[in-house]
Amino acid sequence: MKLTKKSHACVRLEKDGRTLVIDPGVFSEPDSAAGADAVLVTHEHPDHFSEERLRVALDASPGTEIWTLRSVAEQLSAAFPGRVHTVGDGDTFTAAGFDVQVHGELHAVIHPELPRITNVGFLVDGSAFHPGDALTVPGRPVDTLMLPVMAPWNKVSEVIDYVREVGPRRAIDIHDALLTELARPLYDTHIGNLGGAEHSRLAPGESADI
């Protein structure tokens, strides 16, 4: 499986000539969902879910389908009947030839006075896990953890402990649009030295075989 990092929280996974895109949001490239056979969306925040990007992709490719939680599905289902699927914690499905398991229910706490929205993570082909905006532990071995490295709801010690708890073979940074280039070496050092897993980051457009 080939993973291509797009800006911020969006990744493209390719296998056997088919493409699965996760979380094409407003911080990601305008064409981040273009050409996808299937799209997964973890939650409704605009840095993960751009309705405009998804509508463009769905209009351009009549076979493209979306799997997401109810809050996102309700915004798209009427316009694309039969192509938007609602999923939740514990569900399993196949999208564009990828086997997907759904883990998690709630977004991480940003502040106690802000209501928590729903959020799900996706484990793809039993090996690559994208948690969205939460530190969800899938409860089974993970080869590649897509690691939300910097967000308004986390700090580096929590990110390190999350890598340790999941215990992947490798962690690849996502959710990094707010992280400045000056801070990246500091994060790399701490996560790499203390996380207990191979740690790497890809520039937007770079790929890795996972």
pLDDT number for residue 179: 95
pLDDT band at residue 173 under the 50/70/90 scheme = very high
User: For the chain, where are the E strands, in sequence order?
Assistant: 2-5, 11-15, 18-22, 38-41, 65-68, 84-86, 92-95, 98-103, 121-124, 128-130, 144-148, 170-174, 198-200, 207-209
Do the Cβ atoms of 11 and 23 come closer than 8 Å? yes
Do the Cβ atoms of 26 and 50 come closer than 8 Å? yes
**CA 115, CA 200: separation in Å to the nearest integer?**
33
pLDDT number for residue 106: 98
Two tokens, residue 181: 């280039």
**pTM of the complete model:** 0.97
Of the chain, the end-to-end C-alpha distance in Å amounts to 6
Nearest to 101 by CA among 115, 91, 109: 91
pLDDT number for residue 18: 98
Q: CA-based diameter of the chain, in Å?
A: 48
pLDDT in tens, 52-111: 999 999 999 999 999 999 999 999 999 999 999 999 999 999 999 999 999 999 999 999
Please name each of the domains of the chain with its CATH number.
Answer: 2-103+111-209 (3.60.15.10)
Q: Please name the helix (run of DSSP H) or strand (run of DSSP E) that holds residue 71, with its range, or none.
A: helix 70-76
Q: Which amino acid is at 124?
A: V
Percentage of the chain lying above the pLDDT 90 cut: 100
